[in-house]
Amino acid sequence: MASGSQTLKYVAYISSPDMEVLNDATFGVGADLADMWAYLDDATARLQARHPSYSFTPRLVRYEQVTTEMPRP
């Protein structure tokens, strides 16, 4: 049984303490990991400067497609 996976996209987002998404961006499969985190760090710093009493959570998520060959019963 063969299987594999393929990265489809990356989504970067920043959520507030109540888990509301305040900022998000979608990156293609060729995006550089360091560039995506730099984007998140910069956006988080700007939010923190505007709302110093809040804490923000940056996240980077990879979306994949998984394929699995199914054997004949």
Q: Is residue 71 part of a domain?
A: no
For residue range 9-46, what is the model confidence (pLDDT) as tens digits? 999 999 988 888 888 999 999 999 999 999 999 999 99
Count of domains for the chain: 1
Q: What is the pLDDT of residues 39-54, one digit of tens each?
A: 999 999 999 999 999 9
Phi/psi of residue 59, nearest 5 degrees: -140, 145
* Residue 8 covered by a domain: yes
Give me the domain span that covers residue 35. 3-66
Burial of residue 14 (CB within 10 Å: 0-12, 13-18, 19+) is buried
Among residues 48, 39, 44, which one has the least CA distance to residue 58? Answer: 44
